[in-house]
Chain A
């Protein structure tokens, strides 16, 4: 069955350092979503990527969808304490949009030291 791996599982950085989390799928994906969950909170949608090689930016966050549409990454430039939380990638189950089901990766938990 479909496997979604996110690495690393944890990352501790000094405030101001960069951070990257990677999401790898065993199947080709039609699209992928990213969510952020603050400690004690609920997941909040960040972005959806659809096109091969797509790069989207949100202020200090850069999201990329791989050329083969089997991997994605989230890069944060110059982390701040407000970036603390767990970042999840969420591709559709089975890789395509037909099922309507989202499969979440295990998440990458980011800690930022001030």
Chain B
């Protein structure tokens, strides 16, 4: 099994550009989430989903959109990139909420 796969691994954007970070899991997990990690701030929850068709906001949702059309995929869209969105983004999944979370390898995003 591949587990949680994130693409791309690295990305450089110009301010104002939009892009989608991809996340896919092959473990049939219901719960998926997106975090951003900034130095000294741990991981902060952006958006999460408890199943296909259901999404909700986390701690820092502004500037990001998500959708969950299938159990496997949970893409994160940056609508208009800003330098403040420079960060490392992690996608995670778990079988049900509040159980072991499996993380992807991360996407390192730089907005210039």
Contact = CB atoms under 8 A, between A and B. Distances in A.
> How large, as a class, is the contact surface on chain A?
20 to 34
Contact of B99 (A41, A44, A48): A48
A73 B1 CA distance: 33
Nearest to B4: A42
A39 interface: no
B55 to A, nearest CB: 12
Contacts of A101: 33, 45, 48, 58, 97
Contact of B42 (A31, A48, A106): A106
B106 interface: yes
A45 B95 CA distance: 13
Interface in B75-112: 90, 92, 97-106
A48 B48 contact: no
Interface string A4-40: 0010010000000000000000000011010100000
Nearest to B100: A45
Contacts of A92: 98
B40 interface: yes
B99 A43 contact: no
Contacts, number: 57
Q: Is the interface on chain B under 10, 10 to 19, 20 to 34, or 35 or more residues?
A: 20 to 34
A93 to B, nearest CB: 8
Interface string A102-114: 1111110000000
A101 to B, nearest CB: 6
B74 interface: no
Interface in A74-114: 88, 90, 92-93, 97, 99-107
Contact of A42 (B33, B59, B105): B105
B106 A103 contact: no
Given A102-B101, A103-B59, 12 more contacts: A6-B42, A9-B40, A33-B100, A42-B90, A42-B103, A42-B106, A45-B100, A88-B42, A93-B45, A100-B97, A101-B33, A101-B45
